[in-house]
Amino acid sequence: MGQKKDLTGSEKSKIVRYLAEGCSSLKIAKLLKRDHRTIKRFIQNSQQGRKKRVEKPRRKITAHELRKVKRAAAKMPLATSLAIFQSCNITGVPKSTRCAILRDMAKVRKAKRRPPLNKTHKLKRQDWAKKYLKTDFSKVLWTDEMRVSLDGPDGWARGWIGKGQRAPVRLRRQQGGGGVLVWAGIIKDELVGPFRVEDGVKLNSQSYCQFLEDTFFKQWYRKKSASFKKNMIFMQDNAPSHASKYSTAWLARKGIKEEKLMTWPPCSPDLNPIENLWSIIKCEIYKEGKQYTSLNSVWEAVVAAARNVDGEQMKTLTESMDGRLLSVLAKKGGYIGR
């Protein structure tokens, strides 16, 4: 048996396995056909503890430098700790110290995603706000769809873990494991739905209208009084399946036309109060990083969470519309940050 220089990764793994099985170093050398000295050297090196890390004296941060860091953090949102300290000409500070300092004056946040607003969009938002400024919003039915996945939004599975405890393991699946499309509406303090779109159905104009017929009209709208139907205003966004000529004509045949069908400005999810309802539901169904194993289980969770939203919460959302319109006008059509 000739003595070789290095052990391969596969051989090292086998040595660990043989040791766990109670084999001696001599027996392992014979099994691997390697020199006994090589095996003993690897075992001895593995059993030696790591060298204790020598802590270098940390650089002290002055009060003046802290003020500079605070100003830089305010001017450079989403910048790294290194970029913030470099902009202040503060060097020699380890990452752990930089993060500890920034943690006292800032928080790690993700950038918010919003559709882009150009000049035309802002003008249309202002025109919309002026048109409906005197509307009785307790008579408006706010509708929208929401997709929920089995895994929930990325980054939501975070939280405090006690010392000595391991973080729970999460399933990793493509596209969040699949999802369910949900439609619902709110009017004053009442929830309409939620209704589940059949799996595999893509909502085009025809399927959207058929969906409304089978759910909204048959299960809710038909039961309402004539006076309620006369005064109700139906709101939907400008998704292609909603705003098409086919859908508009179909709704008109159902009596939802002209002033009974609210016009909607482009790129305006911040103006629809049901978006806030979706946030409440998602926070409930994905709390503590919860995941689901089937589409039916996540749908049942949505239904349960929606039923737990009380009328006062929905009333607060629908009554916020007057304030939203005033905010749109005050910001000249800009986003209102809801």
Residues 139 and 263 in one domain: yes
Residues 234 and 261 in one domain: yes
Residues 124 and 24 in one domain: no
Residues 253 and 183 in one domain: yes
Both structure tokens of 12: 């090292």
Both structure tokens of 184: 């619902």
- H or E, element range at 145: strand 140-149
- Check if the beta carbon of residue 176 is closer than 8 Å to that of residue 149: yes
Residue 186 exposed, middle or buried by CB count within 10 Å (0-12, 13-18, 19+): buried
Residues 321 and 278 in one domain: yes
Alpha-carbon dihedral sign for residues 27, 32, 36, 38 = negative
Distance, in Å, from the CA atom of 242 to the CA atom of 237, rounded to the nearest integer, reads: 7
- Check if the beta carbon of residue 185 is closer than 8 Å to that of residue 193: yes
| CATH code of the domain covering residue 220 | 3.30.420.10
| Model-wide pTM > 0.85 | no
Residues 87 and 124 in one domain: no
56 falls within a domain = no
Residue 73's domain comprises 63-105
49 falls within a domain = no
When divided into structural domains, the chain yields a total of: 3
Residues 93 and 126 in one domain: no
**3-state DSSP helix/strand/coil percent for the chain, to nearest 5?**
50, 10, 40
184 falls within a domain = yes
Residues 287 and 323 in one domain: yes
Own/partner contacts of 292-301, CB < 8 Å, gap of 24 or more, are: 292/150, 292/151, 292/177, 293/150, 294/150, 295/150, 295/178, 295/179, 295/180, 295/199, 298/148, 298/149, 298/150, 298/179, 298/180, 299/148, 299/180, 299/182, 299/196
81 falls within a domain = yes
Q: pLDDT tens track of the chain, all 338 residues? A: 445 567 888 888 888 888 878 888 889 888 888 888 888 888 888 766 555 566 566 677 888 999 999 898 888 888 888 999 999 999 888 888 888 888 888 887 777 777 788 999 999 999 999 999 999 999 999 999 999 999 887 666 666 667 777 777 777 777 667 889 999 999 999 999 999 999 989 999 999 999 999 999 999 999 999 999 999 999 999 999 999 999 999 999 999 999 999 999 999 999 999 999 999 999 999 988 888 989 999 999 999 999 999 999 999 999 999 999 999 999 999 998 76
113 falls within a domain = no
52 falls within a domain = no
Residues 230 and 280 in one domain: yes
138 falls within a domain = yes
- H or E, element range at 46: helix 36-47
Residues 38 and 126 in one domain: no
239 falls within a domain = yes
Edge-first strand listing for the sheet containing 140-149: 190-196, 179-187, 140-149, 233-235
